[in-house]
Each structure stands twice: as structure tokens, then as C-alpha cells.
Amino acid sequence: MKTTKPIRNALIGALLFTSSLLSAQSLTFSAPGGFYEQSFQLTLSCENRDATIHYTTNGNTPTVNDYTYTGSLLLNKELLSQSNIYTIVNCPETEFFLPDSVQKCITIRAAAFNNTGQQIGDIVTNTYLIKSLGCDTHGLPVVSVCADSLDLFDYERGIFVPGKHFVNWNPDYSGNYYQDGRDWERECNLEFYECNNNGINQKAGVRIQGNGSRRFSQKGLKFYARQEYGSKRFKYKFFDDLETDSFKHLKIKPFRSGYEELGCQDYLCSQIARMVQVEHLATRPVILFLNGEYWGIYYLQEKPDERYLEDHFSVDLGQINIIGNWNGLCEYGSNESFWPFSTGLKTTTCPMKKTTRTQPVKLTSLISLIIKSLNYSLPTPIGQQTICGVGRKTVDLGARFIMMATLALSSPNSASSPTPPMPKKTITI
């Protein structure tokens, strides 16, 4: 049977794709990323002897115009990034504080190219945290993120900068970093290393995370595992207090991200929530390195969304609504049932009324949430606070509250701020 041209083209494409995958697997590093005491020689190799390896040391995507690998690399200070991205103004000028210098680690991103300059395999990335070079995290694990500088800092498309979406009359709530959604997700390489070098190294999608904290130089990040990046899940036991070792989404929040900027409040509030048996996000402190440069103390957390509920409670996603703020921002499902629920909490002494459609909350769970909030010293009564979510109907969780972030209950009328703070999420199902 004669093969048609479209079929031939499809077969050729499939063969080229398979060849690319095989070539990607053949590019190897002699040592994996992680913590090391001393410098050492690193060897890169490719089974395709006709291929040329090019690499970068500043987190950028390697091209044929970057360093050509000709022999083993001594991991010393000469391989530390010289880009100094920490000097880039990535926030309103009133929020920008330039340190004298920052700690650095070595990031090697390499790819193989054929004799026509075409990349023939995936980029391979490894981060080396070498103590003798001054890279010491003092016992904290590390999250290392590498992404092309244009994806982070370009005026038009960079997610880390004020960029084209910044307006002078609203400096605190405008900028590229306030954009969201899939259009503002960028590909990155994500590594996580415990002090014993256990962890993960995989490609992922990254977006900016947070509300008002997006304007700070240290920005929160959300990570997405997708098949198009190579893996549908982050498969590692990040949190000792959780049984699960598979996550669809993760996030890291900067030390300053809380509304009162207390630093460790996320971790402390998570521990309080555990003690009063409020469902909460697992969290742990980490050090972030961005393209090989120290970016500060962060908190690695589960991402509070529909996948969190699916993973932890095996609920039907068709029965879930997630409401993100006082204005009824619908992040998943519908906000139709949010309004009577919110009104009931503000205007009645016992808002736990049953209706034909939903039992909004479990009273003991709400009490525990309020106890937790009192420990956080929130000044406003329940009638002035927001419950940022409601479920479509009662399911197996018994309408328990889930502590989704530090400020589970946030006041819309804070006297300390002329602009009402964006409340964090609490959802009930």
C-alpha cells in the first residue's frame, strides 16, 4: 500500500521526536546536583559523538552562542553566575533595597547540538551548593529555580518585573508580576535538595504567587507539574507530617509575605492549626536560589486549590467551589452559594443553618478556626471578617474548615491601611 505524504510526514515527525528523546537521555553529568563540601571536576558527556555540548552558568537557556564544552569543568568561583540579577529593580522603587552582595551557587545548564546548530535533546540542569565557595544554608534545604532571563526580567513578558503593566499612579498594585493565568506561566527547572541531597530535579511551570506581596523584591512562586514539562507530578515526600509524596502544585512564600510582615507567621500558624485540628497547609522553611543567586528564606507549602482537595480528601471536584476574596472571586467552580453564606456569617448569631442545598460549615471546625485566628491576634470580630469559600453541598468532610493560609480570616475594614487587604483563602466543603 502506497504511503500518502501526510502519513509520511507524520512518521518522520515521530521518528525525529523519538530521536530527540534518545539524544536527551544521552547527555549526562558525572555528578548530580546538591550539597558538596569542596570543589571538584565535573564531566559532561553525550553518546552522540558528533554532537557539541553548549552550557550556561547563569540559569539561561543554552544556545550555540554560549560556552562550548571541551573538557571537564572545575567547579570553582569562576563558574559562579556573573549576571547579578539581584541588582535588577523588580519592584516599586520604595520597596527596592540593594544588598552589597549575595551568596551564589553554581548552576550548569547544558544541551547537545548537531552540526547545523540545532538542539537535539532536552536541556539538563544541575545546581551545586559548594560550602568551600561560601554557599552555606546552615542546615536548611534548598529550592533552586532556573529560568531564562527573558522569561523573568524582560519588559514585555518577564514575570518578575514592573514591565509594561506598571502604572505610576498605582505603583503598589500594578506590574507584570500582578498578571496571572496560563499566559503568565513560564517554563523553569525546579530542584529541591535536602541536606543529604535527597530531592527532585525536573522541569515545571512557574508563576508569581501572592496578593499585595507581589510588589516586594522577594516574590512568592507557584509551581505546576505538567506532562508537557516531562512529569505530571512532583513525586517526593516534602513534608514529614504528611503521608502523601505526590503533588500536582506547590508554592513558596517569601519571609515577608504575610500582611503584618512577621516573617515566621506562616510556619507558626500552621503549627497552631495542627494543634486545634484545623485542616491546614503543610509548610517548611527553605532557601531559594534563583538562577544561581541567593534569594532569601522562603516557606515551601502545598498550593491551596482543587488539586489539594483532590489529593488529601478524594473529593469529587464537581462538588467544590473555591472563592478567593471579599469580592467573590471564583477560583474554581461557582460563587453562587458564597453570597448567602457570607451574609449569614455577618448578620446572624448562628449562621449554621441547614438549607435544601447545603450545610455550610461544621460548628466545631469554625470554632477551632477562630481559636487559631485569636492566636494570630486578629483584632476584628467574626462579623467583620471574611470566610473565603463555600462548598456546593455537604460531602464526607462534614463541611470542615481548611486553613489555606496564615490569614484565614481577614478584615475588609482594617484601619491601618487605606487600601483593604486582599484576604487569604479559607474554603469549606
pLDDT in tens, 123-149: 999 999 999 999 999 999 999 999 999
Closest by Cα among 75, 206, 230 to 152? 206
| pLDDT category of residue 298 using cuts at 50, 70 and 90 | very high
β-pair partners for 52? 113
pLDDT of the residue at 128: 98
Q: Is the distance from CB of 133 to CB of 39 less than 8 angstroms? A: yes
Residue 21 resides in a domain: yes
Q: Is the distance from CB of 320 to CB of 332 less than 8 angstroms? A: yes
Same structural domain, 186 and 282: yes
Inform me whether the pLDDT recorded for 392 exceeds 50.
Answer: no
- Which of these three, 268, 303, 338, is where a domain ends? 303
- Which of these three, 303, 322, 352, is where a domain ends? 303
Q: How many CA atoms lie within 13 A of 136 on its CB side?
A: 7
Average pLDDT over residues 364-370: 56
Same structural domain, 16 and 49: yes
Alpha-carbon dihedral angle through residues 87, 90, 94, 99, given to the nearest 10 degrees: -30
Same structural domain, 297 and 245: yes
Inform me whether the pLDDT recorded for 260 exceeds 70.
Answer: no
Q: Which of the residue ranges 4-8, 96-100, 397-401 has the most confident prediction, judged by mean pLDDT?
A: 96-100
Q: What is the residue range of 341's domain?
A: 313-428
Backbone angles phi, psi at 169, to 5 degrees: -80, -10
Same structural domain, 254 and 322: no
Inform me whether the pLDDT recorded for 240 exceeds 70.
Answer: yes
Show Cβ contacts of residue 313 under 8 Å, excluding neighbours closer than 6 positions: 396, 397, 429
Same structural domain, 71 and 160: yes
Cell of 332: 474554581
- Which of these three, 250, 273, 303, is where a domain ends? 303
| pLDDT category of residue 330 using cuts at 50, 70 and 90 | confident
| pLDDT category of residue 299 using cuts at 50, 70 and 90 | very high
pLDDT of the residue at 198: 97
CB < 8 Å & 24+ apart, contacts of 353-358: 357/392, 357/393, 358/390, 358/391, 358/392, 358/393, 358/394
> 53-73: per-residue pLDDT in tens?
999 999 999 999 999 999 999
Number of domains in the chain: 2
pLDDT of the residue at 3: 45
pLDDT of the residue at 415: 35
pLDDT of the residue at 131: 96
| pLDDT category of residue 83 using cuts at 50, 70 and 90 | very high
Residue 285 resides in a domain: yes
- Between CA 226 and CA 209 the distance in angstroms is 18
Same structural domain, 205 and 336: no
Same structural domain, 397 and 277: no
Residue 308 resides in a domain: no
Same structural domain, 370 and 297: no
Same structural domain, 164 and 92: yes
pLDDT of the residue at 356: 36
Mean pLDDT value across the chain? 78
Which of 166-180, 213-227, 344-358, 381-395 has the lowest average pLDDT?
A: 381-395
Please give the C-alpha separations between residue 99 and each of 11, 16, 250, in angstroms, as whole numbers: 55, 48, 28
pLDDT of the residue at 416: 35
Cell 550539597, located at residue: 35
Q: Is the distance from CB of 301 to CB of 283 less than 8 angstroms? A: yes
Inform me whether the pLDDT recorded for 167 exceeds 60.
Answer: yes
Same structural domain, 298 and 339: no
pLDDT of the residue at 49: 85
Inform me whether the pLDDT recorded for 25 exceeds 50.
Answer: no
Same structural domain, 224 and 371: no
Which of 62-71, 270-279, 379-388 has the lowest average pLDDT?
A: 379-388
Same structural domain, 296 and 317: no
